[in-house]
């Protein structure tokens, strides 16, 4: 085992490579020029390019699947289908935009379109307005939740949704954003020098008694900050 750890490729051990972000692993592999390993390199580079394109290039090879957010895990699985030559497949995705910043949503829609263009059917359960608008067919369930839900409110092309009593349809037509009266915070929860997954020595104050949104691009450390760091501090 010790001998295996001492083996290095262009100055890096396997452990060093696994600690790199995927974008850096791809750059590393592109610099290797060896005839014997070309088939392996070609496949590895292709897979890495797919993962980077789908928006998870910030991950490292040493990250276990259990540490990924729901959106990250689903996008990693979707990347496997991008080089799949099968047609007449049915893909059912449950909120693939979870955890995605709006900047990355457009890239997700391109991937969904490619799956469809190969001759597949793509069903997406979604709340994101941009993905709903991009759909070619909409099935709206409602009208509300719980005992007031469970009926088909609309089933057809997107254009017809605005002519119904659908809450979704009305929301998609809203042009002006509502203005809220914001409550001022007087005390805070403090996180100091947080380090987990993508977080690097982060210190932040989170206000008490107000509605707080933690936002940022995919992979910026939102889930790690709240689920791993914030949940471990003494609340009282």
Tens of pLDDT along 166-213? 888 888 887 666 667 788 888 998 888 988 887 889 899 988 888 888
**Is residue 42 domain-shared with residue 88, that is, in the same domain?**
no
Mean of pLDDT values over 86-95: 84
Spell 54-83 as b/e; 16+ CB within 10 A means b: bbbbbbeeebeeeebbebbbbbbebbebbe
**CATH at residue 71:** 3.40.50.300
For residue 146, tell me if it sits in a domain: yes
Domain count of the chain? 3
Nearest CA to 168 out of 123, 132, 131 is that of 132
**Is residue 120 domain-shared with residue 142, that is, in the same domain?**
yes
What pairing do the DSSP bridges indicate for beta strands 90-94 and 121-125? parallel
For residue 95, tell me if it sits in a domain: yes
Query: What's phi and psi for 121, nearest 5 deg?
Result: -105, 135
What burial class does residue 118 get, using C-beta atoms within 10 Å of its C-beta: 0-12 exposed, 13-18 middle, 19+ buried? middle
The model's confidence at residue 88, banded by pLDDT at 50, 70 and 90, is: confident
Tens of pLDDT along 105-160? 887 888 888 888 888 899 999 988 888 888 999 999 988 889 988 999 999 998 88
For residue 166, tell me if it sits in a domain: yes
Tens of pLDDT along 214-235? 887 777 788 888 888 887 766 5
**Is residue 110 domain-shared with residue 156, that is, in the same domain?**
yes
According to DSSP, the residues that pair with 8 across neighbouring strands are 13
């Amino acid at each position: 085992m010790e001998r295996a750890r001492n083996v290095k490729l262009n100055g890096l051990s396997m452990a060093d490579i696994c600690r790199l972000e995927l974008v850096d692993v791809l750059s590393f592999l592109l610099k290797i020029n060896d005839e014997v390993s070309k088939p392996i390199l070609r496949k590895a580079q292709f897979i890495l390019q797919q993962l980077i394109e789908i928006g998870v290039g910030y991950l490292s090879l040493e990250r276990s699947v259990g540490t990924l957010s729901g959106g990250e895990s689903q996008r990693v699985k979707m990347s496997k289908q991008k080089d799949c030559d099968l047609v007449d497949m049915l893909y059912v995705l449950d909120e693939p935009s979870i955890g995605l910043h709006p900047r990355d949503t457009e890239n997700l829609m391109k991937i969904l379109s490619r799956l469809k263009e190969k001759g597949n059917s793509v069903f997406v359960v979604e709340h994101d307005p941009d993905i709903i608008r991009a759909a070619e067919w909409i099935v709206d369930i409602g009208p509300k939740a719980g005992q007031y839900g469970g009926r088909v409110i609309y089933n057809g092309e997107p254009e017809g949704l605005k002519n119904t009593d659908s809450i979704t349809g009305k929301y998609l037509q809203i042009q002006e954003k509502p203005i809220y009266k914001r409550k001022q915070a007087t005390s805070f929860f403090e996180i100091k020098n947080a380090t987990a997954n993508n977080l690097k020595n982060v210190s932040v104050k989170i206000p008490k008694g107000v509605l707080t949104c933690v936002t940022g691009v995919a992979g910026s450390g939102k889930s790690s900050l709240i689920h791993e760091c914030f949940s471990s501090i003494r609340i009282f």
